[in-house]
Amino acid sequence: MLNVALIIAFVFMTLAQLLNLYRLFKGPSLPDRILALDTMYINALALFVLLGIYFDTATYFEAALIIAVMGFISTVATSKYLMRGDIVE
Amino acid sequence: MMIVEILVSFFLILGAFFALAGSIGLFRLRDFFTRLHGPTKATTLGVGCLAIASAIYFTFHKEGISLHEVLITLFLFITAPVSAHFLAKAARHQRLHEDKDHPDA
Amino acid sequence: MQGNRLIPHPLMSFALIILWLLLNNTFSFGHILLGTLLGIMIPWFTNRFWPARPRICKRRLFLKFFFGIFLYDVVVANLNVVRLILQPDISKLQPKFIEIPLDTDDPMVISILANVISMTPGTVSTEITADKKTLIVHGLNVPDERAAIAEIKSRYETTLKEIFTC
C-alpha cells in the first residue's frame, strides 16, 4: 500500500513541477517567474523527501534542508533585486 | 505496523494533493496577486505533510525516533510568509496591481 | 523569562539546543551537552545584534494561540484556498486589496501579525505603509471587506497585542 501511495505522490509532484515550469516560461511578469521558481524549489525538496522514503535512506534529508535554505535566500535576493535594483545596500 | 503504513500513506497523498493544488493555482489563476495564494499556503502545507509522513516512516522503520524532518516543516512555515511578502512588495513596486489590462494567463 | 549576564537570551538558547538536537537527529547525552554549549556561546557572541528582545508576557495565551487557534486556522484556510482554486469557474473569485488599520506600533507585533495573516484565511500581506499605521492585505475572495477586516482584527490582532504587551 505504501508503494502505491508513494507512486501517486510522485506523479502528483511531477505534475506540479510541470505546471510550475509552464508558469516559469510563460511569465508574463518577472515576479511571476520568481514565484514559479520558488515553488519549484519547494517541490524539488518534496521530491527529495519522497526519494528518501522510496530508497529507505536518511541521506536525502540534508539535501532537502539545503534546498529549503537556498531556495528561500534566492527568492528573497531576487525579489529584493527587483525592488531596489541592488541586493546588498 | 499496518496503522503506521496507513498513516504514512494518508499523509503522503494528502501532502502531494495539497502541493499539486498549489501549483494548479499558480497555473490557472488570472493575475499575479491571486497566483501568490496557491504556492504560499497550499504548497507549504503540502510539503509540510510530506515531511511529517517521512518523519513517521523513519521513526517506525528504523531504530529510534527520527524528528529531523520536522525542521523542514518548521522552516517552510516560517519562511513562506516572508518570501510571499517580499514577492508581493516587488510586484507592487513594479505596479502590477495598477494595470488592469495586464495579459491574462 | 528574563535574561541575565550569563544567559542573555534564554529563549534563543533553548531554541538553539532543540535545533542542534533535531539537526543531529539524536537525544544522546553528548549532543545535549554540545548543544547546551552552543546554546550558551552563540547568544554571547551575537549579543550585539539583538538590542531588543521579544518578551512573551502571557505564556499560556501564546501556547494556546500558536498551537491551537493558529494550527486549526492554517488547516481550515488551506482547505478553503484549495476549494477556491479548484472550483470550475474561477471568474467568480473576488480578489481585492484591503487596508487594515493597525492599533499597535510595536514592530514585533506587526511583523508577527503580517506573517500570521499570510498563512491563514485567503489573505497575503503585501505591504506596510511608510507611517506603519496601515497593513495592505490582498484577499483571494473578499465578498465583504468590512467583515474581513473585523475578523482579522478581532481574531489575531487583539490576541497578539495581548501576548506581547505586559
DSSP H or E stretch at residue C135: strand C134-139
Q: How many domains does chain B have?
A: 1
Query: Is residue B99 included in any domain, yes or no?
Result: no
The closest of C165, C159, C86, C162 to C120, measured between CA atoms, is C159
Task: Say what the pLDDT of residue B37 is.
Answer: 85
A17 CB within 8 Å of a chain B CB: yes
Q: What is the DSSP letter of C131?
A: T
Given a cut of 70, is residue B104 above it in pLDDT?
no
Q: Which amino acid type is present at position C152?
A: I
Q: Phi then psi for C134, rounded to 5 degrees?
A: -130, 140
Contact A19 B24 (CB under 8 A): yes
Q: What ipTM does the predicted assembly reach?
A: 0.86
Mean pLDDT, rounded, for B46-59: 89
Mean pLDDT, rounded, for B73-82: 89
Query: Is residue B105 included in any domain, yes or no?
Result: no
Coil, strand or helix at C48: helix
Averages of pLDDT over each 10 residues, chain C, 166 residues: 67 86 84 88 81 72 81 84 82 80 80 84 79 82 80 81 76
Task: Say what the pLDDT of residue B103 is.
Answer: 43
How would residue B102 be classed by pLDDT, with cut points 50, 70 and 90?
very low
Tell the burial category of B29 from Cβ atoms under 10 Å away from its Cβ (0-12, 13-18, 19+).
Answer: buried
Query: What tens digit of pLDDT does each residue of C133-158 get?
Result: 888 888 888 777 788 888 888 888 88
For residues B28 and A16, the answer to whether their CB atoms sit within 8 Å is no
Task: Say what the pLDDT of residue A17 is.
Answer: 93
CA atoms within 13 A on the CB side of C79: 5
- What the block records as the C-alpha cell of C2 is 528574563
Distance CA C110, CA C161 (A): 9
Q: How far is B54 from chain A (nearest CA, A)?
A: 6
Q: B47-84 burial by CB neighbour count: b if 16+ within 10 A, else e?
A: bbbbbbbbbbbbeeeeeeebbbbebbbebbbebbbbbb
Query: Is residue B102 included in any domain, yes or no?
Result: no
The closest of C93, B89, B28 to A31, measured between CA atoms, is B89
Q: How far is A14 from chain B (nearest CA, A)?
A: 9
Nearest chain A residue to B72 by CA distance is: A65
Task: Say what the pLDDT of residue A39 is.
Answer: 92
Tell the burial category of C103 from Cβ atoms under 10 Å away from its Cβ (0-12, 13-18, 19+).
Answer: exposed
> Looking at domain C59-164, which CATH architecture does it have?
2-Layer Sandwich (3.30)
CA atoms within 13 A on the CB side of C87: 11
Mean pLDDT, rounded, for B50-79: 85
The pTM for the full model equals 0.85
For residues B23 and A39, the answer to whether their CB atoms sit within 8 Å is yes
Contacts of C75 in chain B (CB under 8 A): 45
Least confident segment among A85-89, B79-83, C122-126: A85-89
Contact B72 A72 (CB under 8 A): no
User: What are the boundaries of each domain within chain C?
Assistant: 10-49, 59-164
Task: Say what the pLDDT of residue A20 is.
Answer: 92
Contact A2 B93 (CB under 8 A): no
**DSSP output for C100-115:** EE-S---HHHHHHHHH
Nearest to C124 among B25, B40, B70 (CB): B40
Residue written as grid cell 551537552? C33
Q: What is the DSSP letter of C87?
A: S
- What the block records as the C-alpha cell of B22 is 498549489
Q: How far is C8 from chain B (nearest CA, A)?
A: 24
Nearest chain B residue to A40 by CA distance is: B23
B29 CB within 8 Å of a chain A CB: no
Which residues span the domain enclosing B63? Answer: 2-93
Query: What tens digit of pLDDT does each residue of A26-52 get?
Result: 878 888 899 999 999 999 999 999 998
Look over chain A and give the mean of its residue pLDDT values, rounded to a whole number: 88
